[in-house]
Structure 1
Amino acid sequence: MTPVAYCTNVHPAEDLDGVLAQLDRYAVRVRENLGVDTLALGLWLSEPVARGLAEDVAARRGLAAELRARGLEVSTLNAFPYGGFHDEVVKHSVYVPRWTDPRRLSYTMACATVLADLLPDTAAYGSISTLPLGWREPWTSDDDAQARAAFDVVARLLRAQAARDGRPIRLAVEPEPGCVLDTVADAVGWLADRVDHDHVGICLDTCHLAVSFADPVDAVNTIRASGLKIVKVQASAALEVAEPGTEEARRALAAFAEPRYLHQVRENAPTGVLAADDLPEALADLPAENPWRVHFHVPLHARPAAPLRSTTDVLSSAVAAVRSIADVMPHVEVETYTWTVLPEPVDDLAEGIAAELRWAADHLVNGVVA
Structure 2
Amino acid sequence: MVEEKNTDFDDELDESEEGVMYEHYKLEVDPGQKMLRVDKYLVNRIDNASRSRIQAAADAGSILVNGQSVKSNYKVKPGDEVAIVMDFPRRELKIIPEDIPLNIVYEDDQLIVINKPPGLVVHPGHGNYSGTLVNALAYYYKDLEMFKSADPRPGLVHRIDKNTSGLMVIAKTETAKTKLSLQFFEKTTKRQYIALVWGNLKEPTGTVEGNIGRSHSNRQVFTVYPDGEYGKTAVTHYKVLEELGYVNLVQCQLETGRTHQIRVHMKYIGHPLFNDDTYGGDHILRGTTFSKYKQFVNNCFKILPRQALHAKTLGFVHPTTGEEMLFDSELPNDMSEVVEKWRGYISNRNIE
TM-score by length of 1: 0.25
TM-score by length of 2: 0.26
Q: By percentage of residues, which structure has more helix?
A: 1
Q: By percentage of residues, which structure has more strand?
A: 2
Query: Which structure exhibits the higher relative contact order, with contacts defined as CA atoms closer than 8 Å and separated by 6 or more residues?
Result: 1
Which structure is larger by alpha-carbon Rg, 1 or 2? 2
